[in-house]
Amino acid sequence: MKIVPKKPDRSLVAPTREIVKLERRLFLKQGLSLGALTLLSGCNVTDGDAVQKVLSQMSRWNDGVQAAIFDPARLAQEYPESAITKPFPFNAFYAESAAPRVDAAGYKLELSGLIRDKAPWTLDKLYALPQTSQVTRHICVEGWSAIGKWGGVTFRTFLEQIGADLTAKYVGFKCADDYYTSIDMPTALHPQTLLTFKFADELLPASYGFPMKLRIPTKLGFKNPKHIAAMFVTNDYPGGYWEDQGYNWFSGS
């Protein structure tokens, strides 16, 4: 008779333990392949799939976070004129030669929405508002940046002048090049947000947004509309040309 050393009965214990281990391993494996799957399916952001929904929701959440950390009193750094980038890069969703030629004489800025005095504004009337200038860094969503000098009226002054509802959520812009975008009211009221008519002390050339560009040094470049033809104040989310395609709406700096 063989003497069997006393051991726990592995035929009973081991299988359960193995199953637990296997389950744990499968769970991790599935978790990893799920991660890999989301990586693959996420490659096409135009897919109306679940991944895209989550990413879009995260972008809305990021809008909220940025609104919360936006300090209305914090100023973007201003630079000496010697720091101005020359030549200042052209940037739009079309080639420089396609920039719209707006007729100055026939131009009128259209106003609508939550604004008391919606009378359109001629350029002469806009030029008669108190003018100021700034040398600030334009940061593109692509990652490059350039320093420029813009001159015009503090946007807050203009909004007060037209009797805009300063408690509304958004200011929207429609542009002569079919571009459109919108910004939050706190940014619209920021002291460095300017409705500009000049670049480097000269009237804005067509490629830089004649007759006017809203210069917002606390937002990325694409949030700075050029060739503005109409603006409106609203509480309904207006979106934007790039924002509707997936760029983050707030895009604060």
Of the pair 58, 104, the CB lying nearest other proteins is at 58
Written as one string, the DSSP assignment of 101-133 is ---TTT--BEEEESBS----B-HHHHHTSPPEE
Give the residue with the Cβ less far from other proteins, 8 or 106. 8
Tell me 164's DSSP state: B
Exactly one of 7, 11, 103, 124 binds other proteins (CB under 8 A); that residue is 7
CA 109 to mean position of chain CA atoms: 23
Choosing from 85, 132, 145, 234, the residue that interacts with other proteins (CB under 8 A) is 145
Q: How far apart are CA 187 and CA 72, in angstroms?
A: 7
Q: How far is the CB of 157 from other proteins (least distance, A)?
A: 21
- Residue 128: CB minimum distance to other proteins, A: 31
Q: What is the dihedral of CA 75, 77, 80, 84, to 10 degrees?
A: -120
88 lies in the site for other proteins, by CB under 8 A = no
Among positions 18, 21, 26, 90, the unique one binding other proteins when judged by CB under 8 A = 21
The tally of CA atoms less than 13 A away on the side-chain side of residue 97 is 0
* Of 131, 130, 151, 148, nearest in space to 139 by CA: 148
Contact assessment for residue 155 and residue 188, using Cβ atoms and an 8 Å cutoff: yes
Q: Could you say whether residue 26 binds other proteins (CB under 8 A)? A: no
Name which position in 33, 44, 157, 235 contacts other proteins (CB under 8 A): 44
- The full DSSP string for 55-97 is HHHHHHHHHHHHHHH--TTPPPPB--GGG--SSPPP-SSS-GG
Decide if residue 112 touches other proteins (CB under 8 A).
no
Site for other proteins in 194-253 (CB under 8 A): 217-218, 242, 245-248, 252-253
Site membership for other proteins, residue 142 (CB under 8 A): yes
- Which residues of this protein are in contact with other proteins, per CB under 8 A? 7-8, 21, 24-25, 28, 31-32, 35, 39, 42-46, 54-56, 58-59, 62, 66, 69-71, 74-77, 137, 139-145, 217-218, 242, 245-248, 252-253
